[in-house]
Amino acid sequence: MYRWILSLSDFPSSFYRACFIIYASFLSTYHLPIFGKIDYLATQARLQELFIKYESSVVRVKATRQDLTSENKKRILKMGSGFFVSKDGHILTTGLLLNPERVWIEHKNKFFLTEVLGSDDLCNLTLLKTLEKPSQFSYVSFSNNKIETPVGSFLLGLTCALEFEIGPSIGLLQSVETSFGRNLFPTRMIRSSLSLGPGEVGGPVFDLNGNFVGIAHAVLPDLRSSFILPANACSKIRDGLLLSGKVDYGWFGITVSQKLNNENSSDIVIQTVDENSKLQEGDILLKIGSNPISERRDIVESTFFARPGTFVDFFVFREGNEMRIPVRVLSRPKSKQEQTKDDLIVDSNHSNSGKRDQNLRAE
């Protein structure tokens, strides 16, 4: 019977061939919608399965402090989503209130005070740790291995919108971007059709295989979409904040320009180099490590994951020859914005240190 269905050439007469065609038409007309419904229900069941698996890892994060610029001494409250990343009660979140006096999480209708272990200014991520762990919770595990999730993949976000219960959001992976307008991202960002609202930034995002794709990082309300910081970037930041309370980013000590060549494309040409570097002005940059360089944004991606103090191979084209030059990775200098932010934190700590304990007791 199965051979009869699969092979049209087995029929000796046109009559049986006609019967086969009628039967195939019947299957396509009446059975495919049933198969489509079964596929839909399977996808729905998978989404529900992932929600049940990871729901207890998601928390609502709240932070508060007194507004120092207001004459009425207003208190600022900011909330967002976060999720456990270890069995010891570590929580990763983004967009935390600057210089908070108190930070706590809400999990299963209970409140848990937390301490801030460190914040990363470049990607605006913060690592928290509960002073007392919930009795039952799960956590999201992930490594620094890069997982390629194809464009068009289904994504599942778990978030805490406003004061509502934890809920799922469904979207598609739309693209991988390296900039927004003229501003370069610190690393590649995933653009998705997850339409997120207040309080939902900071939640974890998964694919249908249950892999952690990244953290909901920013919202584009006009496009009904959002940016997701990938899992390997989250891993680098989590590990840095856990070990030392900060993240050390690399810096190659070069500036480059993009120039047209004779092949109707462009070259990345080194303009300035660090005084101790073996690179030279005018070198055409081909690769950094195993990463091909065709645009300036490719250098940003390589810099993000480079570790200060290590060596990275630069492949350049110089005077008609391709050369491999080891370059020592330097520590990234702070930007003016980051330095200004540090100054504000220091000033705030000095001006408010005498009142902080009293404010905490009074709340």
* pTM for the whole structure: 0.79
Co-location of 362 and 297 in the same domain: no
Q: Do 358 and 297 share a structural domain? A: no
Residues 219 and 189 in one domain: yes
> What residues contact residue 2 under an 8 Å CB cut-off, 6+ apart?
none
144 and 207 housed in the same domain: yes
Of 181, 214, 244, which closes a domain? 244
The DSSP H or E segment spanning 51 is: helix 32-54
Strand runs labelled E in the chain: 58-66, 75-84, 90-94, 102-107, 110-120, 125-130, 154-159, 167-180, 183-192, 204-207, 212-220, 225-230, 250-251, 255-260, 266-272, 284-288, 291-292, 311-318, 321-328, 330-331
Which tokens in the block code for residue 302? Answer: 């390589």
- Indicate if 199 and 54 belong to the same structural domain: yes
Name the domain boundary from 210, 244, 278. Answer: 244
pLDDT at 360: 29
Say if residue 20 is exposed, middle or buried (CB neighbours under 10 Å; 0-12, 13-18, 19+). middle
Structural tokens at position 278:
């073996």
Q: Within this chain, do residues 257 and 271 fall inside the same structural domain, yes or no?
A: yes
CA distance 55 to 130: 18
Domain that includes residue 349, residue range: 336-363
For residue 40, CA distances in Å to 127, 141, 164, 166, 171 come to 38, 28, 27, 23, 15
Clarify whether residues 298 and 198 are in a common domain: no
- Give the CATH number for residue 150: 2.40.10.120
Q: pLDDT tens per residue, the chain (363 residues)?
A: 334 344 445 545 555 555 555 555 544 444 445 555 567 788 899 999 999 999 999 999 999 998 867 677 788 999 999 999 999 999 999 989 988 999 999 999 999 999 999 999 999 999 999 999 999 999 999 877 777 889 999 999 999 999 999 999 999 999 999 888 888 899 999 999 999 999 999 999 999 999 999 999 999 888 889 999 999 999 999 999 999 999 999 999 999 998 888 777 788 999 999 888 899 999 999 999 989 998 888 888 889 999 999 999 999 999 989 999 999 999 988 765 555 555 544 444 433 433 333 332 323
d(CA 266, CA 27): 54
Domain co-membership, 194 together with 135: yes
140 and 227, same domain (yes or no): yes
Taking the C-alpha atoms of residue 217 and residue 223, their distance in angstroms, rounded to an integer, is: 15
Residues 78 and 223 in one domain: yes
DSSP string covering 176-194? EEEEETTEEEEEEEEEE--
Write down the residue that tokens 């080891």 correspond to.
326
- Domain of residue 257, CATH code: 2.30.42.10
Look up residue 28 and give its DSSP letter. Answer: I
Last residue of a domain, one of 211, 244, 277: 244
Counted domains in the chain: 4
Whether 22 and 123 share a structural domain: no
* 169 and 297 together in one domain: no
